[in-house]
Every structure is written in structure tokens, then in C-alpha cells.
A and B are shown apart, each in its own frame.
Chain A
Amino acid sequence: AQRVTQPEKLLSVFKGAPVELKCNYSYSGSPELFWYVQYSRQRLQLLLRHISRESIKGFTADLNKGETSFHLKKPFAQEEDSAMYYCALSERSGGYQKVTFGTGTKLQVIP
């Protein structure tokens, strides 16, 4: 069964410091991985997906199949990055999209 692990419940960093939110997964097939973000009083929304290999709001995430990881990184944290971040793994199962979420990491950027 697929599983997503986010080992840190809370990550506190100072403004301007680098950020790395960890995500490890277990999945037997070819994974499709995402990072979702939830800012205070806002809905959960997609931040980025691994197949796009894009940088959103300065965040990047590289899929490492050898280490089964999909860590989210940003070189310089901003106060507005404070939010809950969820790593998610998606697979197609019988015609529907089965998405498994991690427990989330709260990022707190200290001014």
C-alpha cells in the first residue's frame, strides 16, 4: 500500500534561512507526487507537482526515486511562507485518482 511520511510536525526557521520540508514515500509503481499548502484561513491548494519540475513561490521539489523522497526546498524563507504543507502521492486505481496525504508539516518563519 502506498504511504507518505512527513517526519516533522513543526519546522521553525528564521526569515532568510533555507527551508527543507521532508517527505518520504513508499509505493511500488511509478509515483506522481505533489506538495499542497494551506495558508491560515485559506483552503488547501496545490503548490507544485513533480512532473512539472517547476518552481512556485521560490519552492522546488525533486523526486529522488533511490531514496524515495520528495523534499520541498526554498533557499530563503519568507514570512508569508508560514503555512501547513502536505506531501501527497497520487496513483490511478480502477479509474479513479487515489491520493494519499502525509500528516503535514507546519512551517513557521520567524521574523
Chain B
Amino acid sequence: EADIYQTPRYLVIGTGKKITLECSQTMGHDKMYWYQQDPGMELHLIHYSYGVNSTEKGDLSSESTVSRIRTEHFPLTLESARPSHTSQYLCASSETRSPSTGELFFGEGSRLTVL
């Protein structure tokens, strides 16, 4: 079944640890995105990708990095986690074909807590 998967759903980790949030989609979409969302706040785009080997930074500056080696996979990495990184991270994808509906398809999110 076509879907977008995020793991882990919840992660509690100590300061200074390296973490990777996984995102995979079987939607056949070229475009993928990472949003950061604090409770009660809007979603902020932190990274996006047009396709394989394409990554760009979004509107909100983030210390995280992303990679896109395979079309279906768009992991996000924090080399050294800090309490300020505590947030929910949402992965999304969208269609490429034109005219695009403009719809984003979201994963269930990864809630990160850094102690």
C-alpha cells in the first residue's frame, strides 16, 4: 500500500548524541520535505528535496542535515542533539506531475525529546 513511513515515532535521547530520523515513502513521489512543529505552533519547512541527490534548506534554519540517495528515502540527521532540538518532525512528499494538485502527504511524525 502506498504510504509514507517515519521511524522512530518517539525518541528520548541525551544531549550530544547523534540521531537519525528515518522517512520512507512508497508513493512514487519525487519531492520530499521535512517540517518541524512545536506544540501549538505552525509547521516550519526545514529541508526539501526535488529528487535523488537534491537537497535544499527550507525557511527555518536548522542544524540538522538530510540526504537523498534513493528516491523513496529521506533521512534527517542531527550530529549532536541539544534540548533546543526537542520538537516534532514531520516528513511529507508530493507529486511531481503537472498540473500538480499541490497536496502534501504526511507521515505520522517523529517526536524527539532531548534531555
Check A97–B43 contact: CB distance below 8 A.
Answer: no
Q: Give chain A nearest CB distance to B109 CB in angstroms.
A: 7
Per the bound structure, the CA–CA distance linking A107 and B99 in Å amounts to 32
Interface of B is mostly: loop
| B102 in complex: contacting residue of A9, A44, A99, A101, CB < 8 Å | A99
Check A34–B102 contact: CB distance below 8 A.
Answer: yes
A97, closest chain B residue (CB): B94
Per the bound structure, the CA–CA distance linking A23 and B45 in Å amounts to 20
Contacts of B100 in A (CB 8 A): 97
* Known interface pairs A9-B40, A49-B101; A99-B45 also in contact (CB < 8 Å): yes
Per the bound structure, the CA–CA distance linking A104 and B33 in Å amounts to 19
* Known interface pairs A101-B43, A102-B42, A103-B42; A46-B50 also in contact (CB < 8 Å): no
Docked complex: A2-36 residues within 8 A CB-CB of B: 4, 9, 32, 34, 36
B109, closest chain A residue (CB): A43
Check A46–B104 contact: CB distance below 8 A.
Answer: yes
Per the bound structure, the CA–CA distance linking A105 and B43 in Å amounts to 13
Check B107–A43 contact: CB distance below 8 A.
Answer: yes
B22 lies within 8 A of chain A by Cβ: no
